[in-house]
Amino acid sequence: MARERLVVIGGVAAGLSAASQARRLNRWMDIRVYEKGPDVSYSACGLPYFVEGLVPDADSLRVHSPEFFRTEREIDVLTNHEAVEISTSRRRVTVVTPGGRAPEDIPYDHLVIATGAEPAWPEIQGLGLGGVFHVNDLQSTLALKRYLDSGSVRQAVIIGGGYIGLEMAEALKTSDRAVTLLEHSPHLFEAVDQQILEMIQQELGRHSVEVFTGARVMSLAGDEPRGNKGSVRRVHSEQGSFEADCVVLATGVRPRVRLAEEAGITLGTDGAIAVNDYMETNIAGALAAGDCADTLNLVSGRRTYVPLGTTANKQGRVAGENAAGGRTRFPGIVGTAVVKVFSLEVGRTGLSQKQAQEAGYRIAEAAVRAPARARYLGGQDIIVKLVADRSTGRLLGAQMAGPEGVAKRIDVLATALHARLTAEQVYQLDLSYAPPFSTVWDPILIAVRQLLRELKR
C-alpha cells in the first residue's frame, strides 16, 4: 500500500514545525518539505543580534540542517526547490528543481502551505542601489553584515520604525557610525501608546539615533548620476534629505500568498490565507500556517494578521498534527510582543488604546511608573499602561517599558487576557515578591489599582 504523503511548502518556522509534528504522530507518512531558498530552520528573530555582533557567526542561528531532518526525523527537506503551482483538484504541487531540470509534479494527500511573508516595500526610487538591504532573510542579512564589516559605513539610514527598525537601530549604532530612523507615519512603533512611545524616543535619543516621523521616503540617490547604478549616498524624504552610505529597509511584511491565491484558496485578513482553528483552508487537504496565514484576536474577537515567530511555530505544529490525522486547535492570539531597544525592554499585549477604541470599546486607562524591584537594591522605574472595558471591567490590553523586569512581566497580563480577567480579578492575583525581583506591591498591581479607580469614575 502506498504511504500517505504530506507535502510542506516552506522550510522555516511553520513548515518545519508542521513536518516534525506530523512525524511525531505518524511514523509511516512520507513527508517532504520544499524550500525555495538555500537556508532552512534558522532563527530570523536572531538576525539583528548577528548584525550587532552579539551572535558571532550566522551558523549559530541555524537550528537543524536538512541532513538532521533526513536522518533523525525521516523528513526529506529539499532546499532550492520552489513550488510554482498547486493543483488542489489533482492534489499535486509543481516544483522547480535546481540545475534547470524539468519541473516535477509531486502528488500529495495532505498539504501545508508555510510560505511566510515577504518584505512590503513602498514605492521608492533607487532600491536597486548598492548598500541597500533588508533583514527579512538570512541571505540579505549576510550581505548587510559583509557590507558593514568592510568598514566603510559611517551613516546608516533605517526606513521604517516598527519593531525590526527599532532593533536595527541598536544593531547598526556604533561610536563611529551615525544612525537615522525615518518613519512615514506620525508615530514610531504603532503597536504602543504615547506613554511608551516617549520612553522609546528618549532611549533612541540617549544613544544618538536621530528619529524623523512623518518622513515618507520618495527616492534614494547613488554616487553615479543616473538611475539604479552605483552605491547609495542620499535618502530623499518629505522631511528633507539625509546622507547615507547604507540603507536598511524595515517597512514591514505582507503574507506571501500568490501560490495559494492562484490555487483558489481563500484569502482573509490583510490578504493572508484564511484558516480556521484547525489551520484548514477552504480547500480540503490544504492547510496553512505561519506568516502566510491569518488568525483570531482573542481579545477583540476579530480575525487579524500578526506575523510572529511564536505564532508560526504553534500554528505549524497544529497544522502538522491535523495533517497527520490528529484534531487539534490553535485558538488564536492576544497580540503579545516584546522588543529590546538598547537598554529598554518594551512589551505589549492585547489592544492598545487606539485599537480598543477602534474595536468599539468605551475604555478606561491607567499608566503608572513604579520600580521593577526594591529601590534599595537599585530597582529602576518601569511604566505600566493598562486599558480596560468600562462596561464590564475586563482587561483589554497592557503595555510596559523600562530598563528591567518588563519582558516577562508582560506575560502575566497576556495570561490575564487569555483568561478574560477583569481588572478586579487581576488585582487579586497572587504575584511573587522578594526585594531582588519585585516590590511588595508589584508594578502590575499598582497599575491595576489606578485602573480600578478610573473604572469607578
- Among 170, 291, 321, 365, interactor with ligand FAD by CB under 6 A: 291
Compute the least distance from the CB of residue 119 to ligand FAD, in Å.
Answer: 9
x/- map, 122-141, ligand FAD, by CB under 6 A = -------------xx-----
Nearer to ligand FAD, 255 or 379 (CB): 255
d(CA 443, CA 197): 19
Compute the least distance from the CB of residue 3 to ligand FAD, in Å.
Answer: 22
Compute the least distance from the CB of residue 54 to ligand FAD, in Å.
Answer: 14
Q: Is 52 in the site for ligand FAD (CB under 6 A)?
A: no
Which of 242, 218, 222, 217 lies closest to 232, judged by CA?
Answer: 222
Helix (H, G, I), strand (E, B) or coil at 306: coil
- Among 7, 21, 31, 34, interactor with ligand FAD by CB under 6 A: 34
- Among 6, 8, 10, 147, interactor with ligand FAD by CB under 6 A: 10
Q: Is 35 in the site for ligand FAD (CB under 6 A)?
A: yes
For residue 80, the Cα-to-chain-centroid distance in whole angstroms is 24
Q: Is 345 in the site for ligand FAD (CB under 6 A)?
A: no
Binding span for ligand FAD by CB under 6 A among 110-118, 364-372, 377-385, 393-401? 110-118
Helices and strands per DSSP (H, E), number in the chain: 12, 25
Nearer to ligand FAD, 12 or 384 (CB): 12
Contact yes or no for 365/423 (Cβ under 8 A): no
Q: Is 116 in the site for ligand FAD (CB under 6 A)?
A: yes
| Residue 280, burial from CB neighbour count under 10 angstroms (0-12, 13-18, 19+) | middle
In the region spanning residues 237 to 266, those forming contacts with ligand FAD, defined by CB under 6 A, are: 256, 259
Nearer to ligand FAD, 286 or 455 (CB): 286
Verify whether residue 45 is a known catalytic residue. yes
Q: Is 204 in the site for ligand FAD (CB under 6 A)?
A: no
Compute the least distance from the CB of residue 413 to ligand FAD, in Å.
Answer: 17
Cell of residue 299, nine digits: 481579545
Q: What share of the chain is helix, strand, coil (3-state, %, to 5)?
A: 30, 30, 40
Cell of residue 336, nine digits: 503579545
d(CA 176, CA 154): 7
- Among 41, 88, 115, 300, interactor with ligand FAD by CB under 6 A: 115
Nearer to ligand FAD, 243 or 411 (CB): 411
Q: Is 117 in the site for ligand FAD (CB under 6 A)?
A: yes
Cell of residue 456, nine digits: 469607578
Which of 151, 212, 208, 207 lies closest to 181, judged by CA?
Answer: 212
123 Cβ contact list (under 8 Å, min separation 6): none
Residue in this structure with the C-alpha cell 522631511, named with its chain if needed: 239
Which of 309, 349, 337, 283 lies closest to 113, judged by CA?
Answer: 283
Type of residue found at 415: T
Helix (H, G, I), strand (E, B) or coil at 158: strand
x/- map, 137-176, ligand FAD, by CB under 6 A = ---------------------------x------------
Q: How many residues bind ligand FAD (CB under 6 A)?
A: 33
Sort residue 292 into left (φ over 0), alpha (ψ -120 to 50) or beta: alpha
Helix (H, G, I), strand (E, B) or coil at 269: helix
The strand pair at 30-34 and 5-9 is best described as: parallel
Q: Is 83 in the site for ligand FAD (CB under 6 A)?
A: yes
Binding span for ligand FAD by CB under 6 A among 108-116, 237-245, 277-285, 425-433? 108-116
Among residues 36, 37, 43, 45, the one annotated as catalytic is 45
Q: Distances from the Cα of 324 to the Cαs of 30, 49, 150, 214, 321, in angstroms?
A: 10, 36, 48, 49, 5
Q: Is 44 in the site for ligand FAD (CB under 6 A)?
A: yes
Compute the least distance from the CB of residue 455 to ligand FAD, in Å.
Answer: 32
Q: Is 397 in the site for ligand FAD (CB under 6 A)?
A: no
Compute the least distance from the CB of residue 282 to ligand FAD, in Å.
Answer: 19
d(CA 445, CA 267): 41
Q: Is 307 in the site for ligand FAD (CB under 6 A)?
A: yes
Interface residues toward ligand FAD, by CB under 6 A: 9-15, 34-37, 44-45, 47-48, 82-83, 114-117, 135-136, 164, 256, 259, 290-291, 307-310, 312
Q: Which residues are catalytic?
A: 45
